[in-house]
Amino acid sequence: MVVLSELPEASSSSSSARVPTSSTHGHNSSTDGYRYDVFLSFRGVDTRHSFTDHLHKALIDAGINTFLDDEEIETGEDLKPELESAIKASRASIIVMSKNYATSTWCLDELVLILEQCMTSNHIVIPIFYHVEPTHVRKQQSSFGDAMAKHKQTMEAETDANKRSQWAQKIDRWNKSLTQVADLKGNDINGRSETQFIEEIVKDIHRRLHLHVRSVRPQLIGMENHINFVTSWLKDGSSHTVDVLTIYGIGGIGKTSLAKYVYGLYSHEFNTSSYIENITRKCDGKFNGLLDLQEQLCKDISKTSSIKVHDVSVYTAKIENALARKRVFLVLDDISTHVQLDALLGSKGFHPGSKVIITTKDSWLTESCSLFKTNIKPKHERHLLRGLDDFASQQLLWSHAFTCNQPKAGYEEVSDKLVKYCEGHPLALEVLGKSLYNRDVAYWEGCIEGLKKEISSPINNVLKMSFDSLPYENDKELFKHIACFFVGIDRDVTETILEACDINTRSGITNLIDRCFLSIGWNNELEMHQLVQEMGRFEVRQESIDKPWKRSRLWCHKESFKVLKQKKGKGNLLGLTLDMRMLEKEKLGVSGLRRGKSWMNRA
Specify the length of the chain in residues: 603
- Going by C-alpha positions, the residue among 280, 446, 413, 465 that lies closest to residue 359 is 280
Instruction: Report the distance separating Cα 601 and Cα 603, nearest Å.
Output: 6
- Going by C-alpha positions, the residue among 486, 502, 499 that lies closest to residue 555 is 486
Instruction: Report the distance separating Cα 429 and Cα 224, nearest Å.
Output: 18
C-beta of residue 203 within 8 angstroms of C-beta of residue 187: no
| CB burial readout 109-133, b (16+ within 10 A) else e | bbbbbbbebbeeeebbbbbbbbebe
Beta strand 243-248 with 90-97 is: unpaired
C-beta of residue 33 within 8 angstroms of C-beta of residue 88: no
Q: Is 454 among the residues known to form the active site?
A: no
Q: Which of 110, 277, 477, 534 is catalytic?
A: 110
| 213: amino acid identity, one letter | V
Instruction: Report the distance separating Cα 183 and Cα 172, nearest Å.
Output: 17
* First vs last C-alpha separation in the chain: 9
Instruction: Report the distance separating Cα 441 and Cα 344, nearest Å.
Output: 49
| 187: amino acid identity, one letter | N
| CB burial readout 17-41, b (16+ within 10 A) else e | ebebbbbeeebebeebebbbbbbbb
Instruction: Report the distance separating Cα 348 and Cα 325, nearest Å.
Output: 12
Q: What is the DSSP letter of 89?
A: T
Instruction: Report the distance separating Cα 345 and Cα 279, nearest Å.
Output: 13
- Going by C-alpha positions, the residue among 247, 299, 256, 249 that lies closest to residue 278 is 256
Instruction: Report the distance separating Cα 150 and Cα 76, nearest Å.
Output: 12
Instruction: Report the distance separating Cα 128 and Cα 38, nearest Å.
Output: 14
C-beta of residue 64 within 8 angstroms of C-beta of residue 93: no
Beta strand 519-520 with 526-527 is: antiparallel
- Which residues share a beta bridge with 92? 38, 124
C-beta of residue 576 within 8 angstroms of C-beta of residue 3: yes
Instruction: Report the distance separating Cα 80 and Cα 113, nearest Å.
Output: 12
Q: Which residues contact 283 (CB under 8 A, 6 or more apart)?
A: 289, 290, 293, 340
User: For the CA atoms of the chain, what is the radius of gyration?
Assistant: 32
Kindly give the residue spans of alpha helices, DSSP state H, lying in 303-363. 312-325, 338-345
Instruction: Report the distance separating Cα 537 and Cα 577, nearest Å.
Output: 13
By CB atoms closer than 10 A (0-12, 13-18, 19+), residue 92 is: buried
Coil, helix or strand at residue 332 = strand
Residues belonging to the active site: 110
